[in-house]
Amino acid sequence: MTIKSRPVLIAHRGASGYLPEHTLAAKALGFAMGADFLEQDVVATRDDELLVMHDIHVDRVSNVAELFPHRARDDSRFYVRDFDLDELRQLNIFERVNADGSAVYPGRFPARTGNFRVNTLREEIEFIQALNQSAGRTVGIYPEIKRPAWHLSEGVDIAPQMLALLHDYGYSNPDDPIYLQCFDAGELVRIREQLGSRLRLVQLIGDNSWGESGDDYVSLRKPAGLQRLAQTVDAIGPWVNQCFALDERGRAPTSSGLVEQAQESGLEVHPYTIRLDSLPDGFPDLASLVHFCTAVLQVDGLFTDFPDRVGQLLRHQTAAVS
């Protein structure tokens, strides 16, 4: 039986199963838990700083509505783009909540607890590179350009600014410890062809209903779509639910064929997101999901909120085979 090398472990928004997402504390914990890569989502502030935050909105992870009650847009949302970095630095960042204020993941770090702050992409890269030095390891970064078309409509072009920053910190070649990800296929083509980036690029694959970009992810997942993607990017990041099918009773997962077809096109596959407290239907526990991803699908990487638990399962499975 041929076994590929262990898939890379990507700490999704840091060790976000344990600490509020995208805080430096969550990144330090992900580092300590043995992640190979730490993920950054990147949005722009009003003064064009690149901030590490998952959403273009800041209201589900902070006390922005209390500190700046009159700064919501007509849709009642508070946008990162409407605040200068100095203002955003005043916010308490906390565990993600729903619109009604309830915790998205009730078993995780308690909501509205702690003293966490925003950080910029530059600050986070400096933090990770400093940890790499003090720990004698090389943990990579995995930044995502969020909603590039929306940002452009707001007057800011993130990609060139981000590529320049990454270059300044030593990320410019295909073998540097970085993957650059985006949901927007046209933006990735632009990054490769017009902006001339040689970094490893990842096409994220969503569901069309999410509105992440104008792309049709149904056709991108077909063999012709994957072959087209392979002309530009090095990897895809599909939703893990797109990688398997269940029987009529909602059990017995089998491969959907996506991972194999992508790999046949020369693409690596890094599915998202493996969560101990939000398992997809068809998997009774974390071990069965991780085993399926590695032994059946043979993925090349996994995004997880729980890098310790997934890392432990990966090491155990590798040891069992060798």
Query: Which residue out of 22, 54, 57, 270 is catalytically annotated?
Result: 54
Query: Is residue 167 annotated as a catalytic residue, yes or no?
Result: no
- Number of residues in contact with Ca ion under rule CB under 5 A: 2
In this chain, which residue has its C-beta nearest to Ca ion? 144
* Amino acid identity, position 215: D
Find, among 160, 289, 142, 139, the residue nearest to 204 by Cα.
Answer: 142
List binders of Ca ion among 62-101 (CB under 5 A).
none
Q: Which is nearer to Ca ion, 229 or 253 (CB)?
A: 229
H or E element in which residue 304 lies: strand 301-304
The least distance separating Ca ion from the CB of residue 134, rounded to whole angstroms, comes to 26
The least distance separating Ca ion from the CB of residue 10, rounded to whole angstroms, comes to 10
The closest alpha carbon to 115, from 42, 17, 19, 27, belongs to 19
Nearer to Ca ion, 36 or 41 (CB): 41
Containing H/E element for 3? none
Q: Does 305 bind Ca ion (CB under 5 A)?
A: no
Report helix angle 121-135 to 158-168, nearest 10.
30
Taking the C-alpha atoms of residue 282 and residue 285, their distance in angstroms, rounded to an integer, is 9
CB 33, CB 308: distance < 8 Å: yes
Query: Which of 12, 22, 151, 270 is labelled catalytic?
Result: 12
Judged by DSSP in three states, 163 sits in: helix
Q: Is 109 helix (H, G, I), strand (E, B) or coil?
A: coil
Beta carbon of residue 39, minimum distance to Ca ion (angstroms, whole number): 6
DSSP-assigned letter for residue 279: P
- Does the protein bind Ca ion through residue 300 (CB under 5 A)? no
Residue in 223, 229, 227 with CA at minimum distance from that of residue 187: 229
Q: Which is nearer to Ca ion, 116 or 183 (CB)?
A: 183
Measured from the CB of residue 40, what is the shortest distance to Ca ion in angstroms? 8
Work out whether 144 is an interface residue with Ca ion (CB under 5 A).
Answer: yes
Three-state secondary structure call for residue 111: coil
The smaller minimum CB distance to Ca ion, of residues 21 and 282, is found at 21
Piece of 28-36, 139-147, 151-159, 225-233 that binds Ca ion (CB under 5 A): 139-147
Give the Cβ contact number of residue 294 at 10 Å: 21
Which listed range, 37-45, 99-107, 225-233, 282-290, lies at the site for Ca ion (CB under 5 A)? 37-45
Shortest approach of Ca ion to residue 158 CB, angstroms?
A: 14
Q: Which of 8, 15, 36, 41 binds Ca ion (CB under 5 A)?
A: 41
> CB-wise, 15 or 261, nearer to Ca ion?
15
54 is catalytic: yes
Residue closer to Ca ion, measured from CB, 92 or 273: 273
Q: How far apart are CA 59 and CA 130, in angstroms?
A: 30
Give backbone dihedrals phi and psi of 143, rounded to 5 degrees, phi first.
Answer: -75, 145
Where on the chain is the footprint of Ca ion (CB under 5 A)? 41, 144
The set of catalytic residues is 12, 54
